[in-house]
Structure 1
Amino acid sequence: MAKENTITPEQKAAAVVISLGAEKAAQVYKYLTEDEVQRLTVEVAKLGFLPAEVTEDILDEFYKNCMLQKVVTEGGMEYAKSVLEKAFGEDVASTLLGKVEKTLKSRVFSFLSKYDDLSIFSILSNERPQTIALVLSYMDSGRAANIIAGLPENRKISVVEAIARMDSAAPEAMKIVEREVEKKLSSVMTTDYTKIGGIDYIAEVMNYVDRGDEKYIFDELSKKDVELVEEIRKKMFVFEDIVGMDNLSIQRVIREVDQKDLVYALKGAQSEVASVIFGNMSVRMTETIKSELEITTNVRVKDVEDAQQRIVSVIRKLEDSGQIIVSKGGKDDIIA
């Protein structure tokens, strides 16, 4: 048998059953369907020899998962966190709970993936900001941004603020929201607290919002809570943050973006940003772009902002694929 990390979940199940012994394994079989019994029996027959250390690792993983299931079911996430940290330490507990939290969150409002943004917007548009915020917190950030963009100006502010201030949602709150939308959409509910919303999430959403809406939302939100706006901005990546990127990453971005977008973006760029971008171009390209800048006149502010946003989108895609590294929030993400 190969190394432990090449063993399939089915093979791990077989290893656990074999370790239990025939009598206890028979008790386990009583709780399985016919198909599960057949599949497990095939794996048991095929398994062959396993090194002792591999078997030990599999049983350790099984024990942790069993304990995790027990404490989450009996006492909720906070209780589970306390028990698991005492049993396995903070690092292992964090990893285990992260898997559970991801699973719980994916189950709530999972039906949203079957509907387009317009359908979801039609359901949410007349709801309270807190209700909209709760639903959007379970959606992909790009889709959430689309729905926010369709809201009236004053409601955009309220929804963004509600998401930013959100930390966790009680099962009762989620059930209420699900009942409000269940006339058109089916749902699967969770029965525990799950971390949703918050500064990180709304910053991700705001990265997808166009520059005009972004400026308006932050200007209005600043009138209510300047510190909240600053916290969100620290987590966001905006066009001006290019100055903090390393040269190789900037050069990669320049190769990927449309030259027309580059011209329009530079038309409204701060001198420091323009200097950094030109400093990462070839001499010939610099001359070409500067020539185009001279003949490109009467450019609308919106066109400049849209071009800058498209460049930011390219940066985000390159970062998501691991091709470049972007430092956010003043923290250095690179270790030499």
Structure 2
Amino acid sequence: SILSKFSAVDVDREFAEMNEIEDEALVSFLKDEHPQTVAVVLSFLAPAKSAAVLQSLGSVAMKEVAVRMARMDRVVPEAVAGVVKTIKKKYRDYQRRNDDLVTGGLDTLVDILKHMPGDDERQIMDDIEAALPNVSRQLRDKIFAFENVVNLNNGEVRILIDEIKDDHLIALALKGAGDDVRFKFLRNMSQNRATDILMEMNAMGSIRLTEVEDSRRKIVSIMRALDDNGAIRLRGGETLVE
């Protein structure tokens, strides 16, 4: 069977990534496991990593695990495979929860930034860029998304349209866009121009998603430039009535 062919090389490869997991995370995975399972895991981790985890399990669990490790002669492949599967699933769940927390935190921060003065908002974004470049990119992607054009007031949309200067680019970007995004663009141009863009969109038929995404990236780039020089404000703030 496959399990019977679970070699020492396989074991080393499977456990190698666990040495990269934070000690606190490993402890949280293992604290409710049977002492024998914990003993198997620690026997394959780097000694320093195992020592840190063992110390964090508490005196009772530490004793039980240490005794089982001392008694351990050899581990059958089935046991190793089962432990690997269990720990990997817990790690995936852990990463998923952390991703959800990061996403939730960014969404909250975006909402907070909407209500802050522009200078303070830019200072915060600069600080995040310096401290957490990867998170900063995620934050900017949320703020400077094509769909966020709906946060602009009508005057700002007209400024954006004038800056784009390319109706074909607008038509491409609006393919597959939500009704609110389409309406935001089309209501802020002349009826003849809006009609021409709608006709061009219909004449395009089906087009590649990459073309749509590329056109939207170009418009987002223009939006960011206008936001940087203060001509528009993408984060909005309180809703304005026009």
Same fold (TM over 0.5): no
Q: Answer 1 or 2: higher relative contact order, Cα 8 Å, separation at least 6.
A: 2
- Scaled by the length of structure 1, the TM-score of the pair is 0.31
- Scaled by the length of structure 2, the TM-score of the pair is 0.43
More helix by share: 2
Larger Rg: 1 or 2? 2
